[in-house]
Structure 1
Amino acid sequence: MTDILKLIKKIAIDAVNSQKLTDIVYGTVISTSPLKVQIDQKLILEEVHLKLTQAVKDSGLIQGDKVTMIRAHGGQQYLIIDKEVDE
């Protein structure tokens, strides 16, 4: 019985480790009203899928800004955590 429990535990741990629970994603703001961010040639995120941190809200976003986001598990929500700034 102990071997079966160990096997079940290993399978469960492997399944969790194989999933991408979160991911760092980079994109470009293509519209601010409504907010849209393009993350590759084919995928454009709409405002309904985007959340902003307070720091991003304070600095504001403009068209062309490069942003760093965290993709939530399942890929339905993205949190914009920062934007690139010119030095």
Structure 2
Amino acid sequence: MSTILNLIKQAGLGAVEAGNPVQLLFGEVVSAAPFRVQVDQRFTLPPEFLIMPESLSLRGLQQGDKLILLRMQGGQRYLLVDKVVNL
């Protein structure tokens, strides 16, 4: 019986996560070497949690740069979308 209950719980969690596959966040580069990004002034991410597109790696990122991030489903990986600029 507990196996069936666990399967139902897992299916329910999967359905909730599927309804919210990504989350838009903002961050700031707090360190260029080693590379670290502080997200919404709540937590800091090391490079192993970040996915950096080639366009950002070519331009380079420096301490103080503001970023747009997408949190992937499950919350373990974050895609750096682009830098935020002032208009």
TM-score scaled by length of structure 2: 0.73
Q: Where in structure 1 are there 5+ consecutive unaligned residues?
A: 1-11
Q: How many residues align?
A: 75
Counterpart for residue 23 of structure 2: 23
Q: Does 1:58 align with 2:58?
A: yes
Q: Distance in 2 between matches of 1:86 and 1:58?
A: 21
Q: Distance in 2 between matches of 1:33 and 1:17?
A: 33
Counterpart for residue 75 of structure 1: 75
Contact 2:29-2:66 at 8 Å conserved across structures: yes
Contact 2:36-2:44 at 8 Å conserved across structures: yes
Calculate percent identity across the aligned residue pairs. Answer: 36
Contact 2:29-2:65 at 8 Å conserved across structures: yes
Q: 1:40 to 1:59 in 2, by over 3 A?
A: same
Q: 1:32 Cα shift?
A: 1.1
Q: 1:44 to 1:17 in 2, by over 3 A?
A: closer
Q: 1:16 Cα shift?
A: 5.0
RMSD between superposed Cα atoms in Å: 2.2
Q: Which runs of 4+ in 1 moved over 4 A?
A: none
Q: Which has the larger radius of gyration?
A: 1
| AA partner of residue 28 (structure 2) | T
Contact 2:25-2:40 at 8 Å conserved across structures: no
